[in-house]
Amino acid sequence: MPQTYNIAIIGGGIVGNAIARELSRYELKTILIEKETEVSFGTSKANSGIIHSGIHDDPKTLKGKLCVAGNKLWEELSRELKIPFNRVGEILVARSESDIPILQNFIVNARTNGIPAEMVGERRLREMEPNLSKDIKAGLLASSAGVIPPYEMTYALYENAVQNGVEYLLDSKVTNITKDGSGFVIQAGSKEIRADRIINAAGVYADDIAKFVGADNFKINPRKGEEYLLDKRLDNINNHIIFPTPTPTSKGVLVIKTIENSTMIGPTADDIEDKEDTRTSEEGLAKILDFVRTMVPGIDKSDIIASFAGIRPVSNTNDFIIEESKAAPYFINAAGIQSPGLTAAPAIALMVVDILKNSGLKLQKKKKYNKYDKPHRRFSLASNKEKELLIKLNNSYGNVICRCETVTEAEVVAAIRNGAKTIDGIKFRTRAGMGRCQAGFCIHHVMKILSKELDIPEENITKRDGESNIVKEKR
Amino acid sequence: MKKLSVDIIVIGAGPGGMAAALKANEMGIKNILLVDRLPEPGGILQQCIHNGFGLQKFHKDLTGPEYADMYIKQLKNSNIQVLLQAMAIEITHNNRVILSNKADGLIEVGAKAIVLAMGCRERTRQQVSIPGTRPSGIFTAGVAQRFMNIEGYLPGKEVVVVGSGDIGLIMARRMTLEGAKVHAVTELLPYPGGLTRNIVQCLNDYDIPLYLRHNVIEIFGKDRVTGVKIADFGEEGNPPRKTFEVSCDTLLFSVGLIPENELSRMIPLMMNPLTGGPFIDDTFMTSKPGVFICGNAAFVNDLADYVSLEGEIAGVSAAKFALGNYQNDPRIPTVAGQNVRFVTPNFISRNDSATLYIRVKSPITDVRITSSKNIVHIVKKIVKPSEMIEIKLDKEMLKKIKALPASPSGGKEFRIDVGQE
């Protein structure tokens, strides 16, 4: 007889993990099911890390409401989970005279929604962003926008949820869901999971999951976005997140300031068929470069150190779909969570809790809930005094294994003890391999540590599970 | 924080750093600290198990580890302190070096002179913007070399090499000897990036095809590389005249080396965009007094032998600086003229002898290398971008250079041109 859970969450991205962590406050038996070998390996691993102000979205939509609500929750959340968050602000720039009235309209909208926003003239704009194109004469500053490290955040939510009792079933693709009385039986990998309620946070696959119980009154259209990261040596090429003036259909291509103080450019927005198609393309790169150079002309192709692409789950309503299915009671969709999904994630989690309450679930707060995650010590961000203390505490902080990002052996070991199993899992948690040499110097160090900690031979170590082994055979 | 005070600190124990430390020691400097991040000295030499090292320096044909050993033996017999598994994480603006290692934690080293010998790193797939998927099986040639020769793992079995740099050529042969099949070496330019001897000994001798004016333009495979699309650009360039696909499980990138100068930027040193290293004079001093640099951190060399020779010069200069008898003679800038990509060092100051290195922009035959006032006049059959040209300047020539009249633009300069006979 399989175990019965009060709640099963399907999907281990930022949304699934935010919900898991929120539910871990209550006396509930909760499980999160993820098809990949680690959480944050789907759309969330390609997130830009922007906490939007909400200025781009229509306040009448769920996207607009939850973006503004979510934005306000990030200070507290990042403090509790000990993840850096920086309100760097976003600037929407006018690339032509005709953009200025559009921006002024945005200001009016922003005021009604309580979003801080102001027009900025040429002189101040130049002071704030000295590398902006000379053709840009005005902009709109929305100071509440910020940046976080998106994968580290997803892992912190996961760690905190685990710490508070949420179970995780990884490497287990959901292949079927059947109704059983008022609850459900979920076929996940080789396991059968019984749950009273299901929360569908399956990202680009949310429609496929919903179809199992007839809750698929929507369709998810994958929309690819390519992004390119520039060498952090060029710090302060931009100081804010720079947007063009939006068109009715697009936020445009951005010059993003990351939490690491480096610059990222992108994304593209291409509707595609294949939900796994994360190829980058020559056309995508050309489009991005052409576009961002109209805003920051100094950006150069030779400064790119990494590229990637992610797939946004865009629903056919173009809005978030967060509701209990009418066709399948106790099955709650959290679907179509495209941008500003990261910003909205903590607000989505609260909304899901309300939906659960309204569906008759009794929520009782745990006596022993710990909202704080353990510290994620980053050697590179520590002062020399703190570095000394860290090495005294654990001398493997003295062993720098990733030169470009100054990541130590101790941080890699900690990542593995927190659940990392693969080279990518280590990279997303610690940044080892994310820098300009793209793991050339650190990969064999990381493989050795993984091999020792997990007690598996080095030739079995993979980039991200499956057939992605790093080396072919031992000699 | 533990504090150390030394006469000279050398950062990096490869062929440049070891030579610099030993030369400074020979000059009478006793308190020298040589640091490296790896567990043994030798740097990248330890993974270069092929021969061809030492022909210039020792007139012997050695492997990389054998070449390194020539210096390691001397280090053991010297009173140079060698600190291994220690990473230099910072150099402050007042020339203090912060090291991190397991045993000592952070160490702050004060030195009268610093020799930077960090070597270089490889340009990656990302830096040449090749689109497609991001599966495993993509390595820079040097990383594959480390897996093969140090870690003891075969990186892959069906190989395509992108770019024709020396390490890529060496690895094409190495992988073939280990039973892998190398299907192609592609090179975007009309001529190879590596040394002629490597084209012959690593590709031709093993029937590995070299595709000039070709480039990989897309990578396939979800988990592991399954193949690539190669474009033939012909003489017309973009768009390609045809494309074809090759199945493979491994891609090796050998598309250039970049001097490793993160520490130099912290100091900060003035950087030369043409070489990727700092501006240097012929004593190998940088823009910061007391900070010297040598080898591939200064500019990418063809041979380890050159790196050691530069290390010796930097070692002598650092020793003089530490002893307080370094003379800063007037510096005359060197200028890259016709068909010269770069000339280094950037300044001539010495009076006894000096060596300039130049790299040409494109290959030409029946060559005449000339300079301001014809002080240098060399005739060569052929020059190629892949082969650095050494120009030795003797006492007489240096005297003439110092006596050059001011150029129309103001100061004196020494210009080198490479033209056809």
The pair of structure tokens assigned to B331 is: 């510096």
Q: Are residues B312 and B365 in the same domain?
A: no
pLDDT at site B306: 95
Would you say the C-alpha torsion A195, A199, A202, A206 has a positive or negative sign? positive
Residue B379: band (very low, low, confident or very high) from pLDDT cuts 50, 70, 90 = very high
Q: Cβ of B136 and A462 within 8 Å?
A: yes
The residue to which tokens 């370094």 are assigned:
B326
Q: Are residues B393 and B297 in the same domain?
A: no
- Phi/psi of residue B361, nearest 5 degrees: -80, -35
B86: amino acid identity, one letter: A
What is the DSSP track for A19-50? HHHHHTTBS--EEEE-SSSSTT-SGGGG---E
Chain B (140-159) residues lying within 8 Å, Cβ to Cβ, of chain A: 140, 142-143, 146-148, 150-157
The pair of structure tokens assigned to A91 is: 């600037």
Q: In the listed set B253, B282, B307, which residue is the last one of a domain according to the structure?
A: B253
> Three-class SS string for B55-91?
CCCCCCCEEHHHHHHHHHHHHHCCCCEEECCCEEEEE
- Phi/psi of residue B289, nearest 5 degrees: -55, 135
| A23 within 8 A of A7, measured Cβ to Cβ | yes
Delineate the domains of chain A, giving CATH numbers in brackets.
1-85+147-219+316-376 (3.50.50.60), 90-143+221-312 (3.30.9.10), 379-460 (1.10.10)
pLDDT at site A233: 82
Residue B116: band (very low, low, confident or very high) from pLDDT cuts 50, 70, 90 = very high
Q: Cβ of B153 and A472 within 8 Å?
A: yes
Q: Are residues B91 and B31 in the same domain?
A: yes
Q: Which residues of A touch B225 (CB under 8 A)?
A: none
How much is the average pLDDT of B231-254? 95
Q: Are residues B228 and B82 in the same domain?
A: no
DSSP state of A59: T
For residue A308, the cross-strand partners are A227
Cis status, amide bond into A2, omega within 30 of 0: no
Would you say the C-alpha torsion B405, B407, B408, B410 has a positive or negative sign? negative
Of A315, A92, A319, A314, the residue nearest A225 (C-alpha): A314
**B-interface mutation test, from A230, A390, A472, A473, most B Cβ less than 10 A away:** A472
The residue to which tokens 């140079």 are assigned:
B80
Residue B410: band (very low, low, confident or very high) from pLDDT cuts 50, 70, 90 = confident
Q: Cβ of B124 and A400 within 8 Å?
A: no
Segment B201-207 long-range contacts (CB within 8 Å, at least 24 positions apart)? B201/B173, B202/B169, B202/B170, B202/B172, B202/B173, B203/B169, B203/B172, B203/B173, B205/B173, B206/B172, B206/B173, B206/B176, B206/B182
Q: Cβ of B131 and A391 within 8 Å?
A: no
How much is the average pLDDT of B332-356? 94
ipTM of the complex: 0.94
The pair of structure tokens assigned to B278 is: 């700092």
- The Cβ-side half-sphere exposure at B140, using a 13 Å CA radius, reads 27
| A218 within 8 A of A337, measured Cβ to Cβ | no
Please give the residue range of the domain that contains residue B298. 2-121+257-328
Q: N- to C-terminal Cα distance for chain A?
A: 47
Asked if A417 is an interface residue toward chain B (Cβ–Cβ < 8 A), one would say: no
Number of domains in chain B: 3
Q: Are residues B161 and B243 in the same domain?
A: yes
The residue to which tokens 């009794």 are assigned:
A362
| A226 within 8 A of A281, measured Cβ to Cβ | yes
| B41 within 8 A of B89, measured Cβ to Cβ | no
Q: What is the pLDDT along chain A (475 residues), one digit of tens a residue?
A: 567 999 999 999 999 999 999 999 999 999 999 999 999 999 999 999 999 999 999 999 999 999 999 999 999 999 999 999 999 999 999 999 999 999 999 999 899 889 999 999 999 999 999 999 999 999 999 999 999 999 999 999 999 999 999 999 999 999 999 999 889 999 999 999 999 999 999 999 999 999 999 999 999 999 999 999 999 887 689 999 999 999 887 789 999 999 999 999 999 999 999 999 999 999 999 999 999 999 999 999 989 999 999 999 999 999 999 999 999 999 999 999 999 999 999 999 999 999 999 999 999 999 999 999 888 889 999 999 999 999 999 999 999 999 999 999 999 999 999 999 999 999 999 999 999 999 999 999 999 999 999 999 999 999 999 999 999 999 8
pLDDT at site B234: 93
Q: Cβ of B103 and A302 within 8 Å?
A: no
Q: Are residues B355 and B367 in the same domain?
A: yes
Region at A172 (left for phi over 0; alpha for psi -120 to 50; beta for the rest): beta
Q: In the listed set B291, B311, B328, which residue is the last one of a domain according to the structure?
A: B328
Q: Are residues B47 and B105 in the same domain?
A: yes
For A301-347, strand residue ranges (E) read: 304-315, 321-324, 331-335
Asked if B132 is an interface residue toward chain A (Cβ–Cβ < 8 A), one would say: yes
Helix axes A150-163, A14-23, angle to 10 degrees: 30
The CATH number for B62's domain is 3.50.50.60
How much is the average pLDDT of B13-25? 98
| B43 within 8 A of B15, measured Cβ to Cβ | yes
Q: In the listed set B292, B311, B328, which residue is the last one of a domain according to the structure?
A: B328
Q: Are residues B341 and B323 in the same domain?
A: no
Q: Which residues of B touch A461 (CB under 8 A)?
A: none
Q: What is the mean pLDDT of chain B?
A: 95
Q: Cβ of A282 and B131 within 8 Å?
A: yes
- Phi/psi of residue A120, nearest 5 degrees: -125, 130
| Secondary structure element (H or E) that encloses residue A162, with its range | helix A150-163
Q: Are residues B372 and B319 in the same domain?
A: no
Q: Which residues of A touch B238 (CB under 8 A)?
A: none
Q: Are residues B52 and B117 in the same domain?
A: yes
Radius of gyration for the alpha carbons in chain A, expressed in angstroms and rounded? 22
**How many beta-carbon pairs below 8 A join chains A and B?**
139
Give dist(CA B388, CA B304) in Å, integer. 13
Nearest to B101 among A307, A398, A436 (CB): A398
Q: Are residues B28 and B112 in the same domain?
A: yes
Nearest to A444 among B100, B146, B224 (CB): B146
Q: N- to C-terminal Cα distance for chain B?
A: 62
pLDDT at site A2: 62
Give every CB contact of residue B123 below 8 A, 6+ residues apart in sequence: B140, B253, B255, B256, B257, B258
Q: Are residues B113 and B11 in the same domain?
A: yes
A56 is an active site residue: no
| B314 within 8 A of B20, measured Cβ to Cβ | yes
